[in-house]
Amino acid sequence: MNLNSVKVIGIKDESRKDSDLSYVNKVEGLKTILKRDFAEWSNFDSWDSISVQQWIFSKALDVFRGKKVAIKCDCCEYVDSIQNDFENIEREKCYGQKSAYMIEKVLDEIVLAKERRASDGTYSA
């Protein structure tokens, strides 16, 4: 798993040639969820759209399997930020950054689940 596996790009940014390009505006219902208050949109399990949850989960699985993912937002011309730097995510307006945050959050859960299975399925660390 590469720390730079998820990259958010703006409208005028170029995608890496070796990454799977996904467009935020093509995921029906994603923006509706990400427009909510942080407490709501950051709680993946409370999302009312299973198809949007599946999209986030599939991107997290892609990263888990070693693929690179580019998330193209349509709210920014260029995205100039450090990848995986979600320090100010509560105030973030970019749908791409919010999507990347959720992908990373779900990825963390996938990694944790794998570790738990590897240690006989118990929940001890």
How does pLDDT run along the chain (125 residues), one tens digit per residue?
A: 455 788 899 989 888 888 889 999 999 999 999 999 999 999 999 999 999 999 999 999 999 999 999 999 988 888 765 555 688 899 999 999 999 999 999 999 999 988 888 876 565 55
| Phi, psi values for residue 103, rounded to 5° | -60, -45
Instruction: Write down the pLDDT at residue 27.
Output: 96
pLDDT at 81: 58
Residue-level pLDDT at 85: 65
Per-residue model confidence (pLDDT) at position 23: 94
pLDDT of amino acid 17: 87
Q: Which residue in 120, 6, 12 sits closest to 75, CA to CA?
A: 12
Q: What are the domain boundaries of the chain?
A: 6-118
| Helix extents (H) in 2-121 | 30-34, 38-41, 50-64, 95-118
